[in-house]
Chain A
């Protein structure tokens, strides 16, 4: 049967068997092999994709069920060929992986978390990746990567002289003293934050 969906911002169609999973369709019909088959019974999370922005197991969904949805795979994360997103780069910075097999799912789970929370604590990060099994790392450097990405996204494009905004703290630069800029500029700093990559 015919499915029409949006993958990484592009409208795609394919003719698939009714029993074909979204995972197999992504890999075989759309040649997007960054989504991996780990257990194929919905536990390990290696096949994680974002469906309308929310992480989901592509092994537990038929391709035809994804008809009409907006799918994001790991191939949709990099801003340009050879370039990395803030989250991907943070995983490289902390070496948040070894064999790389669970990594696409981890990056997408991190992306979904940071799209809704800009300062997740350790517990929130652990919860967000708890549906993705990594056998190599013991998760330590993955948690570090996501915390680092959160910090970088929070502070991206912050104007000079303005300290990284802290949740709940007043947005005033203590070094500015008498020269502290007016409220308008601080609002501009806030307004800049989404350019770090969060929608």
Chain B
């Protein structure tokens, strides 16, 4: 069901975000704010070797300190818990919260010290003596493909977690038919989302009730399932409290190993136990790094710049354990051709283990690196054909009238109007003027370049990549839910069944329910029950909540409205279809009779004798929503991935001093179309924040390991997050192409900006240095890389001049 935008009362209105009030007052409720009576604290003993056999652990000096309660080793833990889940069918890649027998990356936790305070636990951790026998290690993905490389998990037999070749369409024929080909390699550096709040968890076991209470800074689908499985207790003995504000996540707050560890300790010690990562633990061993990926791309195209076919090989360095990370090679299959009409694709997805920290889900789940590879291809084709980069994209775009559009890998894109968005952006930015400005900057002695990126944000996350990459996995639903009650005095309460990390889900739920019931959103209470009182949710991943939580709230509110109408119509003696609902009251247009909200609620709560036959008393409804369009298991390596596809188009102008090499973003414009916007403030914030995150990925952020396997960037002084100085004022050009698959025409926006910014910035820098005959093919492009490359190119040029 799709309603025209003009009919909306609250949807798309510039209303405040209700969560903000508590945050500006410092009254958020974060995991570090939870302090239980008798609570103990944990600090970790970390391995300093990238790979080593653990010979012995001597905790006696630590345990001798007053206030130290326990030192837990991996060996004990492995005897008490089951191994953590892998996404792929790789049972011999065994992962426990602490290293068992062998460490697999520098920083991996070897033992956990429990004490009366965190400071004391840290003191004691330094007194734990571990004897190691160093083993051979590796850090590079390409090395891991070599069967002779030192195995991170010898029982697994190799370092290869995944190697799948997909061919969608007639790739060989299309390559043979195409007059022109080009090939290139680009590399996406290992970065992550690095929230300002580190991960934290509190667990409290009650042996008299057989209940494990958990409070965590979590954004994780099926979190309770994994805790219960690993701890070997029923899921209904795990109660996760979801009224905990999460201080940023953008994908990575999965904390499963932390939770299993702390849950075990709480049961072992019969005390509440809290672990809060410090920044070092977060960056080095929180298992929250993002994709690190090499792309080898070949494209086949014609003289007009039309790309007919693409071969892409993506080799991802997953780090020391598998987890869910390899799926980040699967999700981009749902938008593997970007916004373009590429007719056939060959895609090889490879994921390998190395002795680096473990990967976790990062904003976009692999889509931003893939978009960077696709957009680099588009720039290179434009250059090869002598075309303007915008024109090259326009020629390849899917046209508005071609939607819904089936791409070769099996996903049907819902809707879009890419050409119009591009026209609006070019008009806003004055593209000819921008080109002239770039040339003026160049004439003044600076290097200057324009970057262009067009890409999609698949949204409404299902989990179709799971069965696609793991045949034992038969997941075809990734539901979400809402419950609405109207109490006796007539007040409305909506429940949502997940934590949030800044996405404004309380505002979303209130807005949607108010829209359907035509009542004031500010009078609707939104609460988060704990997991045992909750309906199914798969948490805010995959840009899904506007679609899935919004959709569930919409359908639940429709059910509630239908019940209100049925009760009133029964009093009027008319059919419900003949009654009219308006702003909470129901009337009979024929007789003019009318029942107000309070009257109908009163009947539902107190007058069973007035209810229509077979009607439950009270006003409580639930709705569990299936992801639109996702109904089937994959067939022939094809599957319908996410239902909705938002579009973004970036234009950026960068100037830099050729000697200093520091990029300065002079202009940043993004055209953004995520269908019907439910709250403009929230969508704007996601987009601007995503761009800032993308600027970090493109220019600043990388987890760098040296040849000794040691992480060099493990504080905010060497892993640089963009500050207000690095992020320019961004101009947003809006467009709305409603999705036919959602209740209001909305699409997702939680990853917007981030999905195209790295590609756009890379394009701008390459445009800036093109005349020097150099190009950057690896992100991040840091200042020293620019100044070094420019200096070398200039030296070469002047040498050539001299010798000529």
Seen from chain A, the residues whose Cβ lies within 8 Å of a Cβ on chain B are 17, 19-20, 27-28, 32-41, 43-44, 46, 73-75, 77-78, 84, 88-89, 91-95, 97-104, 107, 122, 126-127, 129-143
A75, B504: Cα distance in complex, Å: 23
A43 in complex: contacting residue of B250, B688, B690, B715, CB < 8 Å: B715
> Closest Cβ of chain B: how far from A150's Cβ, in Å?
16
Instruction: Check A98 against B21 for contact (C-beta < 8 Å).
Output: no
> Closest Cβ of chain B: how far from A96's Cβ, in Å?
8
Assess A73 versus B26: contact at CB under 8 Å? Given A95-B20, A129-B724, A141-B685.
Answer: yes
Instruction: Check A92 against B196 for contact (C-beta < 8 Å).
Output: no
B127 at the interface (CB under 8 A from A): no
Assess A100 versus B28: contact at CB under 8 Å? Given A40-B278, A138-B691, A139-B727.
Answer: yes
B32 at the interface (CB under 8 A from A): yes
Which of chain A's residues have a CB closer than 8 A to the CB of B529? Answer: none
Which of chain B's residues have a CB closer than 8 A to the CB of A92? Answer: 16-17, 20-21, 24
Chain-A contact segment, one of B48-56, B241-249, B395-403, B547-555: B241-249
| B 6-21 to A, binary, CB cutoff 8 A, 1 in contact else 0 | 0000000000110111
A102, B723: Cα distance in complex, Å: 12
Which of chain B's residues have a CB closer than 8 A to the CB of A132? Answer: 724
Assess A100 versus B682: contact at CB under 8 Å? Given A136-B689, A140-B730.
Answer: no
> Closest Cβ of chain B: how far from A94's Cβ, in Å?
7
Instruction: Check B23 against A138 for contact (C-beta < 8 Å).
Output: no
A36, B276: Cα distance in complex, Å: 12
- Among A17, A34, A127, A140, residue most surrounded by chain B Cβ atoms (within 10 Å): A140
Assess A126 versus B25: contact at CB under 8 Å? Given A43-B717, A138-B689.
Answer: no
Instruction: Output the nearest chain A residue to B32 by Cβ-Cβ distance.
Output: A37
Instruction: Check A41 against B729 for contact (C-beta < 8 Å).
Output: no
Instruction: Check A107 against B24 for contact (C-beta < 8 Å).
Output: yes
Assess A97 versus B24: contact at CB under 8 Å? Given A39-B279, A41-B279.
Answer: yes
B609 at the interface (CB under 8 A from A): no
A133 in complex: contacting residue of B196, B681, B688, CB < 8 Å: B196
Which of chain A's residues have a CB closer than 8 A to the CB of B250? Answer: 135
Q: Is the interface of A mostly helix, strand, loop or mixed?
A: loop
Instruction: Check B689 against A39 for contact (C-beta < 8 Å).
Output: no
Assess A41 versus B730: contact at CB under 8 Å? Given A92-B24, A103-B23.
Answer: no
Instruction: Check B196 against A135 for contact (C-beta < 8 Å).
Output: yes
Instruction: Output the nearest chain B residue to A140 by Cβ-Cβ distance.
Output: B688
A17, B119: Cα distance in complex, Å: 11
Instruction: Output the nearest chain A residue to B33 by Cβ-Cβ distance.
Output: A33
A137, B722: Cα distance in complex, Å: 11
Q: Is the interface of B mostly helix, strand, loop or mixed?
A: loop
Which 10 A-B pairs rank lowest in CB-CB distance, beginning with the nearest? Answer: A34-B26, A100-B23, A101-B247, A98-B502, A99-B502, A138-B692, A74-B26, A95-B681, A138-B688, A43-B716
B472 at the interface (CB under 8 A from A): no
| B 408-440 to A, binary, CB cutoff 8 A, 1 in contact else 0 | 000000000000000000000000000000000
Which of chain A's residues have a CB closer than 8 A to the CB of B727? Answer: 138-140
Instruction: Check B692 against A99 for contact (C-beta < 8 Å).
Output: no
| B 26-39 to A, binary, CB cutoff 8 A, 1 in contact else 0 | 11101011010000
A98, B245: Cα distance in complex, Å: 11
> Closest Cβ of chain A: how far from B499's Cβ, in Å?
11
Instruction: Check B21 against A44 for contact (C-beta < 8 Å).
Output: no
> Closest Cβ of chain B: how far from A16's Cβ, in Å?
11
Which of chain B's residues have a CB closer than 8 A to the CB of A98? Answer: 248, 501-504, 685-686, 689
Q: How many A-B residue contacts, CB cutoff 8 Å? A: 184
A73, B26: Cα distance in complex, Å: 9
Instruction: Check A101 against B28 for contact (C-beta < 8 Å).
Output: yes
Instruction: Check B721 against A133 for contact (C-beta < 8 Å).
Output: yes
Which of chain B's residues have a CB closer than 8 A to the CB of A99? Answer: 23, 195-197, 245-249, 501-502
Interface residues on B, range: 35 or more
Instruction: Check A84 against B21 for contact (C-beta < 8 Å).
Output: yes
Instruction: Check A100 against B245 for contact (C-beta < 8 Å).
Output: yes
Which of chain B's residues have a CB closer than 8 A to the CB of A138? Answer: 685, 688-693, 722, 727, 730, 753
Which of chain B's residues have a CB closer than 8 A to the CB of A140? Answer: 684-685, 688, 727, 729-730
Assess A39 versus B716: contact at CB under 8 Å? Given A99-B246, A135-B250, A141-B681.
Answer: yes
Instruction: Output the nearest chain B residue to A142 by Cβ-Cβ distance.
Output: B724
B801 at the interface (CB under 8 A from A): no
Instruction: Check B245 against A44 for contact (C-beta < 8 Å).
Output: no
Which of chain B's residues have a CB closer than 8 A to the CB of A44? Answer: 196, 716, 721
Which of chain A's residues have a CB closer than 8 A to the CB of B684? Answer: 95, 140-141
Which of chain A's residues have a CB closer than 8 A to the CB of B729? Answer: 122, 140, 143
Instruction: Output the nearest chain B residue to A92 by Cβ-Cβ distance.
Output: B20
* Extra inter-chain contacts (13) besides given A19-B119, A99-B247, CB under 8 Å: A37-B276, A46-B196, A84-B24, A94-B681, A95-B681, A95-B684, A99-B197, A101-B196, A122-B729, A130-B725, A133-B723, A134-B689, A135-B195
Instruction: Check B723 against A36 for contact (C-beta < 8 Å).
Output: no
Which of chain B's residues have a CB closer than 8 A to the CB of A91? Answer: 20, 24
Seen from chain B, the residues whose Cβ lies within 8 Å of a Cβ on chain A are 16-17, 19-28, 30, 32-33, 35, 119, 193-198, 245-250, 276, 278-279, 501-504, 681-682, 684-686, 688-693, 715-717, 721-725, 727, 729-730, 753
> Closest Cβ of chain A: how far from B528's Cβ, in Å?
15
> Closest Cβ of chain A: how far from B539's Cβ, in Å?
15
Instruction: Check B723 against A100 for contact (C-beta < 8 Å).
Output: no
Which of chain A's residues have a CB closer than 8 A to the CB of B197? Answer: 36, 38, 46, 99, 101
A130, B725: Cα distance in complex, Å: 6
Instruction: Check A101 against B30 for contact (C-beta < 8 Å).
Output: yes
12 pairs from A and B in contact (CB 8 Å cutoff) = A27-B32, A28-B35, A33-B30, A46-B196, A74-B25, A75-B26, A95-B17, A95-B20, A99-B246, A100-B24, A135-B193, A135-B692
> Closest Cβ of chain B: how far from A149's Cβ, in Å?
11
Instruction: Check A95 against B26 for contact (C-beta < 8 Å).
Output: no
Instruction: Check A77 against B504 for contact (C-beta < 8 Å).
Output: no
A74, B24: Cα distance in complex, Å: 8
Which of chain B's residues have a CB closer than 8 A to the CB of A141? Answer: 681, 684-685, 688
Which of chain B's residues have a CB closer than 8 A to the CB of A84? Answer: 21, 24-25
A94, B193: Cα distance in complex, Å: 24
A127, B567: Cα distance in complex, Å: 60
- Among A36, A101, A136, A138, residue most surrounded by chain B Cβ atoms (within 10 Å): A138
> Closest Cβ of chain B: how far from A119's Cβ, in Å?
18
Instruction: Check A95 against B685 for contact (C-beta < 8 Å).
Output: yes
- Among A17, A75, A94, A95, residue most surrounded by chain B Cβ atoms (within 10 Å): A95
A75, B195: Cα distance in complex, Å: 23
A94, B14: Cα distance in complex, Å: 10
Instruction: Check A101 against B688 for contact (C-beta < 8 Å).
Output: no
Instruction: Check A135 against B21 for contact (C-beta < 8 Å).
Output: no
Instruction: Output the nearest chain A residue to B717 by Cβ-Cβ distance.
Output: A43
A195, B25: Cα distance in complex, Å: 21
Which of chain A's residues have a CB closer than 8 A to the CB of B716? Answer: 39, 41, 43-44, 133
Which of chain A's residues have a CB closer than 8 A to the CB of B723? Answer: 130-131, 133
> Closest Cβ of chain B: how far from A9's Cβ, in Å?
16
Instruction: Check A135 against B681 for contact (C-beta < 8 Å).
Output: no
A37, B195: Cα distance in complex, Å: 12
> Closest Cβ of chain A: how far from B540's Cβ, in Å?
12
A102, B682: Cα distance in complex, Å: 17
Assess A95 versus B248: contact at CB under 8 Å? Given A19-B119, A139-B692.
Answer: no
A10, B682: Cα distance in complex, Å: 37
Which of chain B's residues have a CB closer than 8 A to the CB of A28? Answer: 35
Which of chain A's residues have a CB closer than 8 A to the CB of B196? Answer: 36, 38-39, 44, 46, 99, 101-102, 133-135
Instruction: Output the nearest chain B residue to A100 by Cβ-Cβ distance.
Output: B23
Which of chain A's residues have a CB closer than 8 A to the CB of B688? Answer: 137-141
Assess A135 versus B248: contact at CB under 8 Å? Given A98-B502, A143-B724.
Answer: yes
A136, B279: Cα distance in complex, Å: 18
Instruction: Check A101 against B689 for contact (C-beta < 8 Å).
Output: no
A44, B720: Cα distance in complex, Å: 10
> Closest Cβ of chain B: how far from A124's Cβ, in Å?
11
Which of chain B's residues have a CB closer than 8 A to the CB of A89? Answer: 24
- Among B247, B681, B689, B724, residue most surrounded by chain A Cβ atoms (within 10 Å): B724
